[in-house]
A and B are shown apart, each in its own frame.
Chain A
Amino acid sequence: MVGESVASYSSVLLMFGFACAVMAPALLVSRMISPENKKQPNPVKTLPMECGQVPSGAGRTHFMMQYYAYVLMFVIFDVMAIFLYAWGSSLLDLPRTATLPIIAFLGIMFAAMAFALYQSKRKDIW
């Protein structure tokens, strides 16, 4: 039972593995037939791309994480969206009163989201 339902997912993994197994040799073949001077490697060639300038500083710099509040809201709303699927896919079998708690749930989430968006705009924290 459990094994059967898990086995149907294995073809997704097989497809993933097939694509990797077919495409990885392309990189190997490219490596084999492409011209490369291994005896005298050119250090300038492997510099990170910075429009022809000599790169300054580290590549993985500290980066200002803009729009941080959106990312925080995503964590909440992604879970909420998947919850709604559990309800939506069985809606036709449920009694009609079961819709009311979901509407209340949506109301709470919407109020929270509206408050977050309003506050972030008012305090200008994007």
Chain B
Amino acid sequence: MSVIAPKFRLGYFLKGIFDNAFWILTIVTLAGIPAIQIVLFYLELPVIDGELLTAFLAFTWLFNPTMQVPLIKALIYSDLFRIAAFPGFGFAALIAAGTIFVERKMLAKLQLRVGPFYCGKIEGILQLAGDGLKLISKEIIIPAKADKPLFWAAPVLFVGTAAAFVALIPVAPGGWVVADLDVGLLAVFAVIGFFPIITILSAWSANSKFPFIGGIRALHQMVSFEIPLILSLLGVVILTGTLNLSEIVESQSSFPWIIFMPIGAIVFFTTMLAELERIPFDLPEAESEIVAGWLTEFSGMMYGLVQLGSYLKLYAFAALFVIIFLGGWTGPVFWPPLDTELITEGIPIPNYAGDPILTVAAPGLPLLDKDPNEWVMQEQGGLVYTSGQLLVSGVIWFVLKTVGVIFFILLPRGVFPRIRLDMLLHIGWYKLIGLSFVNIFIALGLVYAGVIGPGGIL
């Protein structure tokens, strides 16, 4: 039993707070501010209204009501915001955290339990924060004779690779993607190919038998399901003629590809479950045979990082399914198009402040459009919307579809048993590859029968 504060006295407590404040102030003054100056020298700073935005100008404008909107926009359209917050890491981590909580609650309901219940007032909603605190305050135990650099690096590399996968996912119309590549789909396959390597490295470096067996199993599984994964998406590439993920989404503005490619969608969903190591394909982490598979020796925050990485990967795979088969962000816009004058000129308020002559117009703020001062109007389906309207509507559709796919990924965990390794390989090599070739020939038939493609019916 260890006691956190053996001799608690208010004096010691206050002294600790003052000491910490003193050292933080000293270090920030002597090292932090010079470091910011050095970093600012190398950053490409945005220009707003003809003025270069430095950090000091930003602080000034923060309290100037006329400059706040341009300032926020310059922030939103910077690379760092994309990587750290919206289509990148923050957004994906938020969905991943939600997935973990929903999975625990849903699995509990499927098994007639209540799940997390006491942490937080409503249905254990603070359970995740509690688990995070628990994991970060636990000791990290590294097994004897482990390859320490590799063992420390493996969880971080796993999260990093999952984040690189997330970077390729377009979320909303108008280029809301971290990396808009011409060969986005091939880049996705390249990133997926790194996961077995990290798994087998971490398994080997732990110098323990259960992780090693789990790592070998993960290698087999990921390797044998990579080919049906790659081939099942070829049908869509044949029909669209592009590898760019944003263009694949835009090609589905009338109908999603799942209508023509149901076989490809089923094959891709199955391989997705196998690549994510989820039941019924969770042999690498089979907890009833090999304690926790390749995660056995991870303790404390290392385990937390691997879990975060695997749920980021789950979000990225579900988003890829939505982008390729369910039409990504396409869908009816939620609100009717407004009059252009109403948006740009504003709503005239007659009889303002009791003055019968004075009329005030209150224009809206083009907060989500790229230009700080002008509205960007876009046409969709014969109607004209602002790009901010399309952005919000697209994100809502994308999140709705992704959450639906995530639900179907989570559902088998409460329904199916685990299958044997040879059955898994048999499914992968005999059935799924055959079905994905059937899918390719359906796509070829659609092109050559003149249904889709240049000069086709649709």
* B138 and A9 contacting across the interface, CB-CB below 8 Å: no
| Complex interface: chain A residues within 8 A of B204 (CB) | 60
CA distance A36 to B137 in the complex (A): 11
CB-contact partner of A27 in B140, B164, B454, under 8 A: B140
B159 touches A19 (CB 8 A): yes
User: Are B143 and A22 closer than 8 Å at their CB atoms?
Assistant: no
Instruction: Tell me the chain B residues, 273-330 only, with Cβ under 8 Å from chain A.
Output: 291, 296-297, 300-302, 304-305, 308
Give the interface segment out of B117-125, B236-244, B331-339, B365-373: B236-244
Instruction: Tell me if B207 and A19 are in contact (CB < 8 A).
Output: no
* Chain A interface residue number, banded: 35 or more
**B contacts with A, residue count (CB < 8 A):** 85
Residue of A nearest to B244 (CB): A89
Write out the residue numbers on chain B whose beta carbons fall within 8 Å of the beta carbon of A30. Answer: 135-138, 140, 300-301
Interface string of B150-186 (1 = CB under 8 A from A): 0010011101111110111000000000111110011
Tell me the B184-212 residues at the A interface (CB within 8 Å): 185-187, 189, 191, 204, 206-210, 212
Q: Does B223 contact A (CB under 8 A)?
A: yes
Whether A14 pairs with B83 at a CB distance below 8 angstroms is: yes
Partner of A8, one of B179, B208, B220: B179
Q: Chain A contacts of B237 at CB under 8 A?
A: 85, 88-89
Q: Summarize B's interface: helix, strand, loop or mixed.
A: helix
Interface membership of chain B positions 372-386, coded 1 if the CB is closer than 8 angstroms to chain A and 0 otherwise: 000000000000000
Partner pick for A92 among B161, B296, B297, B453, CB 8 A cutoff: B453
Chain A residues with Cβ below 8 Å from B164 are 12-13, 15-16, 19
Q: Which residues of chain A come closer than 8 Å to B242, judged between CB atoms?
A: 89
Q: Could you give, for residues 5-46 of chain A, a 1 whenever the CB lies within 8 Å of some chain B CB and a 0 otherwise?
A: 100110111111111101110110111011110000001011
Tell me whether A49 is interfacial, beta carbon within 8 Å.
Answer: yes
A47: chain B residues within 8 A (beta carbon): 143-144
In the bound complex, residues from chain A placing their C-beta under 8 Å from that of B43 are: none
Is B220 touching A15 in the complex (CB atoms < 8 A)?
Answer: no
Supposing A26-B301, A67-B425, A92-B453 touch, asked if A74 and B224 sit within 8 A by C-beta, the answer is yes
A81 within 8 A of B: yes
Flag if A59 contacts B178 (CB, 8 Å): no
Given contacts A30-B137, A34-B300, contact A51 B291 (CB under 8 A): yes
Contact of A31 among B140, B191, B207 (CB under 8 A): B140
A-B contact count (CB 8 A): 206
Is A15 a contact of B89 with CB atoms below 8 Å?
yes
Q: What residue of chain A has the Cβ atom nearest to residue B193's Cβ? A: A78
Q: Is A99 an interface residue (CB 8 A)?
A: yes
For residue B440, which residues in chain A have a CB less than 8 angstroms away from its CB?
84, 88
Answer yes or no: B142 CB below 8 A from chain A CBs: yes
CB atoms of A49 and B296 under 8 A apart? yes
Interface SS of chain A: helix, strand, loop or mixed? helix
Say whether B156 contacts A27, CB under 8 Å: yes
In this complex, which of A27, A55, A110 has the most chain B Cβ atoms within 10 angstroms of its Cβ?
Answer: A27
Task: Knowing A34-B138, A71-B220, A73-B429 are in contact, say whether A88-B79 is a contact too (CB < 8 A).
Answer: no
Q: Is B448 an interface residue (CB 8 A)?
A: yes
Quote the shortest CB–CB distance from B283 to chain A (angstroms): 12
A residues less than 8 Å from B241 (CB atoms): 89-93
A117→B433 CA distance, assembly (Å)? 13
Q: Which 8 A-B pairs have the closest CB atoms?
A: A19-B163, A48-B208, A59-B207, A15-B167, A30-B301, A92-B241, A11-B179, A81-B230
Query: Which A residues fall within an 8 A CB radius of B?
Result: 5, 8-9, 11-20, 22-24, 26-27, 29-31, 33-36, 43, 45-51, 55, 58-61, 63, 65-67, 70-71, 73-74, 77-78, 81-82, 84-85, 88-93, 96, 99, 106, 110, 113, 117, 126
Q: List 6 A-B contacts (CB under 8 A).
A: A14-B178, A19-B159, A22-B89, A23-B155, A61-B209, A77-B433
4 additional contacts (CB under 8 A) given A16-B160, A89-B237: A15-B164, A23-B308, A35-B2, A93-B241
